[in-house]
A and B are shown apart, each in its own frame.
Chain A
């Protein structure tokens, strides 16, 4: 059979729309439908109106998980972007050699499986025998660090994954370690699109590195920063693998590491409460969309 030039493109692009219809759109619509029913997957479905939404919105664990997610989001997103922008700027400044080596090294964590690196960090975070605590104990032998640790009232050894106060920073540390390189690659690519002449002109005018960064690089990089932060919002608000492996599906001590994604997983697949689970999915995704809209507004105002 020979394809007609008029029909061919429709056939070529059709697999995407067919697969999206079956595996994307249908579950999304069905999800919305399910969120108004009480169902465990086996017994008959029972229509309950907006009860599932009411239930989720009055569930203290849901709010706790949302708060956990937001705290981890802030603890990892801010350092990620500050560090990666800074690193990309240094690499692009023209005074550094071995750029490829640095760039490739920073990117390495991104290509490794989240589960694998979470297991590695699980050992680094060991209380008695973890290398991180051993390093801190070693540092504490030196007077300046001892003074510093006392000043912030740091008790060694740190129970990274056992102490509710430390669980979120520990998860955030892993996420930051994994994704800073990705952001850096994006920023570095964006920086390379800024023409050299812009910097030359600034240098001629006597601008120093700091002025160049704040007055030239940042404003010109805005669309890229907007994109990278959007990706951080979508990814970090759905954080699942890292907390799941580090502290387990119950979220660890006092559920301090229970993210909304993990709680959603539990609600759907452990408690088999499909109605509440899908309602929660819609609420979480509304929050994600809200965040991306706020982000867009924030960036559009200045562009």
Chain B
């Protein structure tokens, strides 16, 4: 109450020039924000422009700034260079399987840390979090050798299996599950539910919001994974999207239209998902940062 009164006093003291100054500041801030949005979105817009233009239109001066009607031809050029739809299917497969398995194993681990007391819990949890700080490049060469010893080169296993029980996912699920009341779990035990049954029947359905967040992040990470896919996949037919895209430069170097048609197909699913569920995308990012 006190604050409110003094605030009104502050406003009452405002002069005309004070109000004008505030308006100008506001206008400038909006201008900055809008310029930022243009800079952020323009590359995507221009990708669409080039994807619909023919080569002769692209390589002329001044360059095109509005859509053309050459998308089909560009797509055909792309498909002649690479089995691009198959590459998309590969990415869908790898990302879907990764996501399903990750959701299962990370929520299982998260549940273990959130709702049980056991010896060495604190130390094991700290150890797990500490592994998140290890730079990914450190062991990339032996990792590759290991994959070849497993005979896993040119298969999807290396892109799926190593990450299905990851520290970040377990941490995220634990954060959420800590808030599930113990009473529910205890009464299920009294009713004769087994530990694993409680997890499947009670904990998983109650964790849907967190599963959604983790699912989106996992799918995204898998969809965009480049370095490991580049090392493991060697046949056109097995490429995932990022590898296929990176090989375009060598195949249709001077055909920006076809390259951008491929880029459009590659990022469209993620952008559509993002527009529909931006909240889940963003909450997944901030969850790890502000609580961790």
Contacts and interface: CB of A to CB of B under 8 A. Distances in A.
Interface of A: 2-6, 8-13, 15-20, 22-24, 26-28, 30-31, 34, 41, 83, 87, 90-91, 93, 95-96, 102-117, 119-124, 126, 128-131, 134, 138, 177, 181-182, 185-186, 189-190, 193, 197, 200-201, 203-204, 206, 209, 224, 227-228, 234, 237-238, 240-241, 244-245, 248, 261, 264-265, 268-269, 274, 277-278, 281-282, 284-285, 288, 292
Contacts of A120: 43-44, 46-47, 260, 263
A279 to B, nearest CB: 10
B32 interface: yes
28 contacts: A2-B194, A8-B112, A10-B118, A13-B170, A15-B164, A16-B128, A16-B165, A20-B131, A23-B146, A27-B146, A41-B145, A90-B29, A93-B29, A96-B29, A109-B40, A113-B241, A113-B242, A117-B43, A181-B40, A182-B285, A186-B285, A186-B290, A238-B137, A244-B246, A268-B144, A274-B145, A285-B135, A285-B137
Contacts, number: 280
Contacts of B290: 186, 189-190, 193, 224
Nearest to A110: B285
B20 interface: no
Contacts of A238: 135-137
A134 B141 contact: no
Given A108-B41, A111-B220, A131-B65, A281 B139 contact: yes
B106 to A, nearest CB: 8
A284 to B, nearest CB: 6
B111 interface: yes
A19 B106 CA distance: 12
Contacts of A114: 224, 226, 242
Interface string B217-233: 00010011011000100
A197 B141 contact: no
B6 A185 contact: no
Given A129-B60, A241-B227, A268-B141, A204 B3 contact: yes
B175 interface: no
A152 B286 CA distance: 41
B10 interface: yes
B100 interface: no
A153 B195 CA distance: 72
B246 A245 contact: yes
B271 interface: yes
A245 B266 CA distance: 15
Interface of B: 3, 6-7, 10, 25-26, 29-30, 32-33, 36-37, 39-41, 43-44, 46-47, 50, 58-63, 65, 105, 108-109, 111-113, 116, 118, 121, 124, 128, 131, 133-146, 161-162, 164-167, 170, 189, 194-196, 199, 220, 223-224, 226-227, 231, 241-242, 245-246, 248-249, 256, 259-260, 262-263, 266-267, 270-271, 274, 278, 281-282, 285-286, 289-290, 292
Given A3-B195, A129-B60, A124 B141 contact: no
Nearest to B241: A113
Contacts of B166: 16
Nearest to B143: A27
Given A111-B281, A114-B226, A124-B43, A189 B286 contact: yes
A228 B135 contact: no
A284 B135 contact: yes
Contacts of B256: 123, 126
B97 to A, nearest CB: 15
Given A113-B267, A209-B25, A189 B289 contact: yes
- Identify which of B10, B61, B133, B139 gathers the most chain A CB atoms within 10 Å of its CB: B139
Contacts of A116: 241-242, 245, 263, 266-267
A113 B116 CA distance: 38
B170 A282 contact: no
Given A95-B29, A112-B270, A12 B111 contact: yes
